[in-house]
Structure 1
Amino acid sequence: MRFSFLGKGHIWSFFRLIVLIVFCVLLFLFFFLVLLFLLFLLLFFLDLVLLFFVILVVILAVGIVGAVVPTEAIVLFGTVTAVLVVIVGVVTIYLIRLVLELGTASECSREGNTSIR
């Protein structure tokens, strides 16, 4: 069975390709922003179980979108999007935590405190 989501070469195949690309870009941006917002909220209540729960919810949401639109390409791009969102989101939250911890350490050293909260 050959993988062909472009059809037989008429004008609608180009339109379907454009719609597929736009859909994947919007899907990536939406889930990236949602995950980034949730991870920023979790920054103040950082619990590893909650972080994995958020990642699981994002992956399930992308899978549901891929199941509702039953095109092999959208499922494939949805999976790639979920993996990219998870990687970028986890790296982002650890960078934010690192910056905040460095800021806390510099404040404590300026005030003369030797221990970090």
Structure 2
Amino acid sequence: MEGILSFINSFFSAFWLILKLGVDVLFVTAKAILYMFFDGFLFVVTNLISTLDLSALAFTEYAKWNDLPPQLIYLINQLALPQGAALIAGALVIRLILNIIPASLTRV
């Protein structure tokens, strides 16, 4: 009787270990797949923001409408202040995206 109980105990211990390893592999694989898609999404968003750099053109038009002198418009564009503002705005957008996505995944 002791041998049968020992066999059943070792069998189900091995079964439980295999089941735990299978679930662990499943979660690690799911995490890797989700990370791949999320990283690709952020890569596309980052490249779109950097590609669509219309900050100097938008600032120039805005400055002309507000009657800024051309010398000041030239100086601001040469100092790359519109590009810096676009970089900060892009960082804020990416930060907001990073905050929204985990919140939507955790609220069921």
Larger relative helix fraction: 2
Establish whether TM, by shorter chain, passes 0.5: no
Larger Rg: 2
How would you bin the TM-score normalised by the shorter chain?
Answer: 0.3 to 0.5
TM-score by length of 1: 0.37
